[in-house]
Amino acid sequence: MNKNDRVGLEGVFIEKDLPLLIRREGIADWCDGVVRILDRRALPHDERHIDCESVEDVARCIENMVIQGAFSLSVAAGYGLALAVSDKAESDCRTQLTIASERLKKTRPTGLAISRMMVACLAAAEHALAEGNSPRDAILATVERGAVALSRQAYEVGRIACEILPDDATILTHCFPDRPYAYMLVEARRIGKPLKVIVSETRPYLQGARLTSLCAMQTGFDVHVITDGMGGFLMRRGEIDAFVTAADRVCMDGTVCNKIGTYQHALAAKTNGLPYYVLRQSGPDIESAGESSVEVEFRDGEEIVNVGGTRIAPSDVKGLYPAFDITPPDLVSKIITDRGAFPASEIASYVDATPFITDAVV
Amino acid sequence: MNKNDRVGLEGVFIEKDLPLLIRREGIADWCDGVVRILDRRALPHDERHIDCESVEDVARCIENMVIQGAFSLSVAAGYGLALAVSDKAESDCRTQLTIASERLKKTRPTGLAISRMMVACLAAAEHALAEGNSPRDAILATVERGAVALSRQAYEVGRIACEILPDDATILTHCFPDRPYAYMLVEARRIGKPLKVIVSETRPYLQGARLTSLCAMQTGFDVHVITDGMGGFLMRRGEIDAFVTAADRVCMDGTVCNKIGTYQHALAAKTNGLPYYVLRQSGPDIESAGESSVEVEFRDGEEIVNVGGTRIAPSDVKGLYPAFDITPPDLVSKIITDRGAFPASEIASYVDATPFITDAVV
């Protein structure tokens, strides 16, 4: 059987029927000691990959936005960690693993996907070393199990979100909300629920225009791109029924940290009586009580004043680039997780809810 | 005396000390039967002009965003109308004038600057014809008088706005709010009031990144560019003190129609307790009672999905492009006109307030 024909997610979907960006293969793969990463910066026009031969190569790919999203980042970082050790059980590799995991975690200080994968992989490597087994093999096996679990969780989130959305809904999305969103669309397609998709382009990296639109198009829905300043107006005109995003982090009080531009849309949704659904498969971060515990990453302002290699502002003018923003819980209707949909103010109860996957590694 | 040294606005400013975009010359000039228009699309990097030899040339420049802003549009359109007639008093030129003025008014259905200039110029041409004088000379003289009056009004608006802003204020602006805004900055510089300027880039045409930033930089203030999705977050963080824009139209009930993206910022300003000041030198449109009387122009969606000649979205994905949005009066703190600053709900009283210029032609 060709790997593209294989049936994933307990027989619900066939790999090749899924949009490119939520397939298992082709995003971040382990290829005989090399981590091969799909370069999303070249999408939607080119499908090209970058081969990483070291931890530093992988770290730079993550920092340079070659790859994005909780699933893809954790898989790439997990494979990156495997590059730090050989397949032999050498006790001095603990230092390399520590250094490598710190380097990889530092690439994205705001989200938690990478650090969760690091914790799982380090534990597996430690266990292997104690048993005299290959730490690299243990890490690779952890990444595989983690990837399967993350996909199943993502589909569950997408399934619940699809159930919640009204028929014929027009959905506005900001940035690329990754697998849960894509599964929401493929599930809607599978059960014959018609949706219309509007994506805000998401400056400066244009993930909405390039990635979300590609994903939505590949599920066969009608899709339109708008700029990041248009959503509120379309909501006021009654042309949008729901705002749906992912979250880079959810705090225990329901505060949502997501790609810059989310807050303005969430505010407009609330003001215009529309629901805002946050897709967050792994629930809240138990170490983040609320807004004050989130450090928002500021990136280089040059990334704002240059578009496609061309400077858009006068040469003496600087850019200012907060990469994420904060949406307070009162603007969030539901946070949809693998353990169900929670009102934002009750998201802390996720922690004690029944796990969707009881043996998940990440 | 070199024309660049001449003292404008009753001796307050010297032409060459003003930012490029609010000088009298170099924006739209009548040059021996040709209308020479500064091509703003090439700013901030190139200062190039387009020579228009027909009404249609001028109309296309306006439609293609070569020129923008109430002052510049009305001057360019006025000169454009002059191209429709010779300098002789031929009675059959009335038809040409009607056709030309209709063509020019149609270039921007949302704003009123062009149609006000058309009314003034047609009246002047009619008067000239009745007296056996050159209609073209009458139109040119009307444009000159109009330009002086518009500049004086713009400065008065900027002066009042500068007075209202707190010292050390950081001001967020969307799009290019033209002369009143630029005069606000040069007045602040003149009286030694320190300001910091943040401009949202204003996709898709990037007027904020290209024009407003240039203007602010040329007045010597510290200026940063952000994307259209960042303003709300910076407001939440307390890094902005006021939101200031122009308006393409103000209704009698205080509803503001301005460049798409304004509404989301205005909403964030209100939510975060910040004032939103609208600079609108010519007051409300007496024929627009409120939101329902404003037809918002939708432009070609291709302008959204292509940036600098490069397609940013997959080839089958369409763009959606409302060019303006609507901000309801309750989000507007003051509408600042040449007749003073009005609470939005009282802007209708502009009509009966004492004119700043009693013999204004437009």
Which domain CATH number covers A56? 1.20.120.420
> CATH no. for residue A251?
3.40.50.10470
Instruction: State the average pLDDT over residues A296-316.
Output: 92
B293 within some domain: yes
> Is residue B139 located within the same domain as residue B256?
no
A261 interaction partners in chain B (CB closer than 8 Å): 227-230
> Is residue A197 located within the same domain as residue A329?
yes
Give the pLDDT score at B87: 75
> Is residue B344 located within the same domain as residue B198?
yes
How many angstroms separate the CA atoms of B163 and B199, rounded?
A: 21
> Is residue B223 located within the same domain as residue B329?
yes
Amino acid of residue A304: I
* Mean pLDDT for all residues in chain A: 93
Of the candidates B224, B228, B230, which has its C-beta nearest A227's C-beta?
B228
Instruction: State the average pLDDT over residues B217-224.
Output: 95
Q: What is the ipTM of this complex?
A: 0.89
Residue of B178, B241, B248, B338 marked catalytic? B248
> Is residue A15 located within the same domain as residue A90?
yes
Q: Residue B248 catalytic?
A: yes
> Is residue B188 located within the same domain as residue B142?
no
Structural domain including A197 reads 166-350
Q: Distances from the Cα of B49 to the Cαs of B37, B52, B113, in angstroms?
A: 5, 10, 22
B362 within some domain: no
A206 interaction partners in chain B (CB closer than 8 Å): 312
A54 within some domain: yes
Return phi, psi of residue B60, to 5°: -70, -35
Overall domain count for chain A? 2
Helix (H) or strand (E) holding A140: helix A135-164
Interface test with A, best of B173, B206, B224 (most A CBs within 10 A): B224
Asked which of B152, B184, B214 is the last residue of a domain, the reply is B152
Asked which of B152, B180, B195 is the last residue of a domain, the reply is B152
> Is residue A170 located within the same domain as residue A319?
yes
Distance from CA of A324 to the nearest CA of B (A): 9
Q: Is B312 a residue whose pLDDT tops 50? A: yes
> Is residue A237 located within the same domain as residue A322?
yes
How many angstroms separate the CA atoms of B39 and B28, rounded?
A: 10
Q: Distances from the Cα of B247 to the Cαs of A137, B41, B70, B324, in angstroms?
A: 63, 21, 10, 10
- For residue range B156-193, list pLDDT tens digits in order: 999 999 999 999 999 999 999 999 999 999 999 999 99
A101 within some domain: yes
Give the pLDDT score at B11: 63
Of the candidates A213, A236, A308, which has its C-beta nearest B310's C-beta?
A308
Distance from CA of A21 to the nearest CA of B (A): 14
DSSP3 helix / strand / coil % (chain A, rounded to 5): 45, 20, 35
- R_g of chain B, CA atoms, integer Å: 20
> Is residue A100 located within the same domain as residue A238?
no
> Is residue B73 located within the same domain as residue B42?
yes
Give the pLDDT score at B358: 78
> Is residue A193 located within the same domain as residue A57?
no
A157 within some domain: no
Is there a contact between A200 and B229 if contact means CB atoms under 8 Å apart?
A: yes
Is there a contact between A311 and B206 if contact means CB atoms under 8 Å apart?
A: no
Reduce the DSSP state of residue B134 to 3 states and report it: coil
Give the pLDDT score at B287: 93
The predicted model scores a pTM of 0.89
Q: Is A11 a residue whose pLDDT tops 90? A: no
B355 within some domain: no
How many angstroms separate the CA atoms of B38 and B42, rounded?
A: 9
User: pLDDT band at residue B112, thresholds of 50, 70 and 90?
Assistant: confident
User: pLDDT band at residue B140, thresholds of 50, 70 and 90?
Assistant: very high
> Is residue B327 located within the same domain as residue B182?
yes
Is there a contact between B318 and A224 if contact means CB atoms under 8 Å apart?
A: yes
- For residue range A157-195, list pLDDT tens digits in order: 999 999 999 999 999 999 999 999 999 999 999 999 999
A214 interaction partners in chain B (CB closer than 8 Å): 313-314, 317
Distance from CA of A54 to the nearest CA of B (A): 31
Give the pLDDT score at A8: 58
A187 within some domain: yes
Asked which of B123, B152, B181 is the last residue of a domain, the reply is B152
Is beta strand B340-342 parallel, antiparallel or unpaired with respect to B169-174? Answer: unpaired
Distance from CA of B26 to the nearest CA of A (A): 19
B357 within some domain: no
CA dihedral for B122, B127, B133, B137, sign (positive or negative): negative
User: pLDDT band at residue A87, thresholds of 50, 70 and 90?
Assistant: confident
Of the candidates B234, B267, B314, which has its C-beta nearest A271's C-beta?
B267
B260 interaction partners in chain A (CB closer than 8 Å): 227, 229-230, 233
B316 interaction partners in chain A (CB closer than 8 Å): 217
Is there a contact between B264 and A263 if contact means CB atoms under 8 Å apart?
A: no
